[in-house]
Amino acid sequence: MASLGNITFACENPDLLADFWAAALGYVKQEAPPEFMEAWLAAGRDPNGAAAIVDPEGKGARLFFEKKPKSPTTSIPIHLDLNALDRDAEVKRLVGLGAREVKTKTRATGPYTETWTVMKDPEDNGFCVQ
């Protein structure tokens, strides 16, 4: 059985996006080992072309940010859903970190009702807060 290793973002500014998501999720930046950086640079890659963040408790997936063009999409085919005890307060906190609120939606399925807020990170990647 496979396990989730990375969630990878194509982005313009890996450090900026890593800082945003680290603050959003309570993650920390992961420094690349020297041998990785040597190989990265030997391959002709930008020394500022990638960043990674990890869950300090080691439970969540690593997020990897690589400087490269994004594939154009007309919708958000894959996105992160964040759970919060107080959705409204979390949305305000994330806006303060540089996110943008798009809209809040509610859906009822039988006796179950869920509400979430669609947001965009600083590089316009979509995510939701429930």
The pLDDT, as a whole number, for residue 76 is: 66
Whether the pLDDT of residue 34 is over 70: the answer is yes
* Secondary structure of 77-91 in HEC code, one letter for each residue: CCCEEECCCCHHHHH
CATH number, domain containing residue 111: 3.10.180.10
Q: How many distinct structural domains can be found in the chain?
A: 2
Domain end call among 71, 103, 120: 71
Residues 43 and 4 in one domain: yes
Please write the tens of the pLDDT for every residue from 61-108: 999 999 988 877 767 677 899 999 999 999 999 999 999 999 999 998
CB 129 within 8 A of CB 116: yes
User: Does residue 24 have a pLDDT over 70?
Assistant: yes
Tell me: pLDDT of 32 over 90: no
Residue 95 sits in the same domain as residue 67: no
Nearest to 46, CA basis, from 32, 58, 25: 32
Mean pLDDT, residues 46-55 taken together: 93
Region of poorest pLDDT, from 33-42, 79-88, 119-128 = 33-42
Q: Are residues 58 and 83 in the same domain?
A: no
Q: Give the tokens for residue 126.
A: 């979509």
Determine the Cα–Cα distance for residues 21 and 119; give it in Å rounded to an integer.
13
Q: Are 123 and 18 in contact (CB under 8 A)?
A: no
Q: What is the pLDDT of residue 70?
A: 80
pLDDT digits (tens, 9 = 90+) for 2-16: 678 899 999 999 999
Nearest one of 98, 129, 99 to 114, comparing CA atoms: 129
Dist CA 114 CA 8 (whole Å): 28
**Where in the sequence is the domain holding 123, given as residue range(s)?**
78-130
